Structure 1
Amino acid sequence: MCDTLVTVTDEGVLFAKNSDRDADEAQSLEWVPARDHGPDDVVRCTWIQVPQVAHTHAVLLSRPWWMFGAEMGANSHGVVIGNEAVFTKELGRRKKDGQDEPGLIGMDLLRLALERAATAAEAVEVIVTLLERHGQAGSCSRIRPSFAYDNSFIVADPDGAIVLETAGREHATEEVRFGGRSISNGLTIPAFAAAHADPVKGRVAACAARRGRTQVAAAAAGAGNRDAVADLMAALRDHGPDGLPRYSPVNGALDAPCAHAGGLVTATQTTASWVADLRDRTAPLHWATGTAAPCTSVFKPVRVERPADIGPAAGQRFDPSTRWWRHEVLHRATIVDPQSLLPRYAHDRDVLESGWLAAPPPTEDAARAADELELRWTADVVGAAQPEHRSRLLRRYWAAQDRDAALPTGPGIGSDRYRPALDAVLAATSAAATPTSGATIP
């Protein structure tokens, strides 16, 4: 479950997306260079292979560790794409008829489009052509093999944006000429939605509630808004009207863009976030967390044309040498009681990002600064030993996630139960004792 926003203004285009997936599914930033290919080359996607093209563009991806495709990304021509799971009648028919043979999944289509297209219109054409030729099918979850979905996309470039919605091999498009537009986990193009949407699954996904908030945020980030990038970051951190995650036993805290897992029917967690500023068409600038839960994360400046060494990619199990899993200790300790623990460092996070928005540092420097601060915040949150304020259902859910990920925990009764994981992080990194050069920290 996810949300994607785009704002088309007189000054240019802005884009934002949360990627909501399984709670333990690590997602890392990955730079892939431009390449030339032979006439007989193929590209191995998540479940099938397809013919390769003669040339692929350089791309920057936010990619779940186990798949070929990506949840969001950009290419060297300023094209940026985000996709959403949508639940359609066509998907139900395919499963009922036993026709859901492996094909391309939405994340594959997103990456292939970025690698092959120089404009948003070309990217839409790439997706539609591949969709009609190969179909979309196959598991979209490593831990739930039966979980599959159709997809919708926002495809943007410095000149505008296009909403592309699909149901099987069928599709519909809508051009975004001006103003804000958002999509979530339901079809939104009226005639196409009337023909293809599965309203029951859409309600479980709480897509209408989240889109109601993201549509307002996309519209507010319009022309003349000097703080548009910061406002889009805030929109991705939105927990709803209460300002804190509000859980349902059905779908966890899924009724607001910053999703937190814990439902019985669906349990989905925001595992990475991205904001793209395409207003400078000669040098688009992207802001990515590379970590879960934007409310506990720092958005770091990244550029497609400047690959950065930000450490090893994360995998299936807890690995304190990777940024995603190091941050998980902060994230999981904080959500023990976000009302008490998040304010301990949210102001510092905002001050840091404000300075970077005014003068973006190199990616490596920003990553080191964020690492240093997050380690400091983690030690503070764990050391606070804040008691649990969650339901028994949520405590059981997160204890199971920790076990599955081999994330070490202790006997504490609250945030201090993550002391062993913090010790593992401290043993794996010298960030707390290494001065950061080039990137200002509070």
Structure 2
Amino acid sequence: MCDTFFSPSHRNVHGNAILAKNSDREPNEAQQIVRFPAHSRFQKRVQSTFIVVDCPEQVHEVILSKPFQMWGAEMGVNEHGVAIGNEAVFTKLRLARKNNGLTGMDLLRLALEQSKTAKSALEKIIELLGKYGQDACGGYQDKGMFYSNSFLIADSHTAFVLETAGPFWAYKHLNSFYAISNLLTIGTDFDEIHPEAKAFAYQKSWMKEDVPFDFQMAFSEPFMTYMGRGASRKQQCELQAPSSNSIQFSVRDAFQILRSHKIQEDFEPCQGDMGNICLHAQGLLTPSQTTGSMVAELRENAQSTVWLTGSSAPCLSVFKPFYFRTNALNANVFPQSSDRLDHSYWWQWEKIHRRALADYSTIKSSIQRFQQEKEQEWVEEDQELSRQTDASKKEVFSQKAIEDCFDYLHQWEQKNGSVQIKIWPVAYRLYWMWQNRKMKNEGN
């Protein structure tokens, strides 16, 4: 389960569009931050998560946040300032479960690699959907996790929401703040729709022909949509959105939305359920955890900044700035993740998250001081650097942010050798004991 929102440039402090997303995945599914430079694929073919697909020879530079084992990405931005976040949506269209199509993450990465504008990315996803379909497992250990996808697609001055149900789709252009979650949101207000969608829904008696066609009503599957609690999280995003006459929204406000819980006072992770934007796994009814977060500031006449946590639980994480044409994400500075506890940034910072499950309020309070100090400092410096074209200064700045976080982690480990364990609900305690055993044993 995930949450994505878009805030247009005319609502934001610096006049830049903002696209933000929390990626909710299985608790031990490490999420990598990766940068792939622009390059040529001479065979004009590429192996995606399950299938080989055609692609142009030249592809654009991208910065992505992706599950460590997947080819595709949960969210990302390209060198032209196109940003995309995707969501699982549950529809009446049953996929064949043959893994002979593209995941939503594959569609997202392919569109970023091949598009210079939000409109061309929209068209690319529709093209790929028609050519290859989306019959592909989106889960990690949950091999039954098949779903359709929705997308928020934005550049510095244009944005779209694209929603799908199997082979069918509808989209609309966005002029104001918009949030999507794990549910269809486009009703009768679409700008374009798949040419055969209406006839298919009429044939299935999912819609009557004598009323305006409603994409959500026709294709949404009610039970899984309800259990995913996407409507609640979408509403929480909208309640924290900038007002219609405000121009005060900033990337730091976006950070806070992604960190928010329904219960703001005295929140404990064991109270978390699927209705929280910052999602904390707790078992069967809440099997997902926010494993990575992104806020992209999309500038029209300057390079975009991609703010990423590279760690789970944004309430306990720090957003760091990343830039194009830099090498801050090399393996020496930012080790990549595997399927178990290792030296990667994600797994090292996960130590804080797992410890916070035992003493959340104390550890969150300690981390918040570091969060607020560093993020304020970095956002201010980023605004200065955004006016410059010198990539080397941005690379040093980004690497320093990573180093600051590693330094904090090492200091934190020295100070937090012992923690007073609270009495958790038994089922919750057993669930996380199981996850911790898997964290250390997977790969053996």
Mapped pair 1:198 → 2:218: no
Partners of 1:172 and 1:189 within 8 A in 2:
yes
**1:395-416: CA deviation from partner (whole Å, max 9, x where unpaired):** 11111111111079xxxxxxxx
**1:274-325: CA deviation from partner (whole Å, max 9, x where unpaired):** 1111145411111111111111111001112323133221010110x21100
Partners of 1:182 and 1:218 within 8 A in 2:
no
Q: 2:427 aligns with which of 382, 393, 399?
A: 393
Mapped pair 1:286 → 2:306: yes
Alignment map for 1:4-43 (pairs within 5 Å): 4-10=4-10, 11-38=15-42, 40-43=43-46
Mapped pair 1:404 → 2:435: no
Q: Within 1, Cα distance between the matches of 2:423 and 2:372?
A: 25
SS in 2 for 1:17: strand
Partners of 1:24 and 1:405 within 8 A in 2:
yes
In the alignment, residue 51 of structure 1 is paired with which amino acid?
D
Matched residue count: 395
Partners of 1:17 and 1:273 within 8 A in 2:
yes
Q: 1:184 aligns with which of 181, 185, 198?
A: 181
1:99–1:31 CA distance, 2 compared to 1 (3 A) = closer
Partners of 2:40 and 2:57 within 8 A in 1:
yes
Task: Report the CA distance between 1:375 and its aligned residue.
Answer: 2.6
Task: Report the CA distance between 1:386 and its aligned residue.
Answer: 2.2
Mapped pair 1:218 → 2:218: no
1:133–1:245 CA distance, 2 compared to 1 (3 A) = farther
Alignment map for 1:23-172 (pairs within 5 Å): 23-38=27-42, 40-90=43-93, 93-94=94-95, 98=96, 100-172=98-170
In the alignment, residue 154 of structure 2 is paired with which amino acid?
A
In the alignment, residue 287 of structure 2 is paired with which amino acid?
A
Partners of 2:270 and 2:424 within 8 A in 1:
no
In the alignment, residue 403 of structure 2 is paired with which amino acid?
R
In the alignment, residue 189 of structure 1 is paired with which amino acid?
I
Partners of 1:2 and 1:17 within 8 A in 2:
yes
In the alignment, residue 105 of structure 1 is paired with which amino acid?
T
Q: Within 1, Cα distance between the matches of 2:73 and 2:244?
A: 25
**1:356-375: CA deviation from partner (whole Å, max 9, x where unpaired):** 11113611110000111133
TM (norm. structure 2) is: 0.85
Match of 1:268?
A: 288
Q: Within 2, Cα distance between the matches of 1:2 and 1:407?
A: 27
Q: 2:275 aligns with which of 240, 255, 273?
A: 255
Q: CA RMSD in A?
A: 1.9
Name stretches of at least 5 consecutive residues in structure 2 with no aligned partner.
188-213, 383-393
Partners of 1:221 and 1:231 within 8 A in 2:
no
In the alignment, residue 28 of structure 2 is paired with which amino acid?
D
SS in 2 for 1:346: helix
Q: Within 2, Cα distance between the matches of 1:42 and 1:296?
A: 40
Q: Within 1, Cα distance between the matches of 2:314 and 2:63?
A: 19
Task: Report the CA distance between 1:246 and its aligned residue.
Answer: 6.1
**1:145-175: CA deviation from partner (whole Å, max 9, x where unpaired):** 1111111000000012100101111111011
In the alignment, residue 349 of structure 1 is paired with which amino acid?
Q
Task: Report the CA distance between 1:37 and its aligned residue.
Answer: 2.9
Structure 1 residue ranges (4+ consecutive) displaced by more than 6 angstroms after TM superposition: none
Q: Within 2, Cα distance between the matches of 1:48 and 1:87?
A: 23
TM (norm. structure 1) is: 0.85
1:245–1:20 CA distance, 2 compared to 1 (3 A) = farther
Paired-residue identity, %: 36
Mapped pair 1:383 → 2:424: no
In the alignment, residue 376 of structure 2 is paired with which amino acid?
S
Q: Within 1, Cα distance between the matches of 2:134 and 2:336?
A: 27
Partners of 2:316 and 2:364 within 8 A in 1:
yes
Q: Within 1, Cα distance between the matches of 2:180 and 2:128?
A: 22
Q: Within 2, Cα distance between the matches of 1:180 and 1:219?
A: 8
Match of 1:232?
A: 254
Q: Within 2, Cα distance between the matches of 1:220 and 1:23?
A: 35
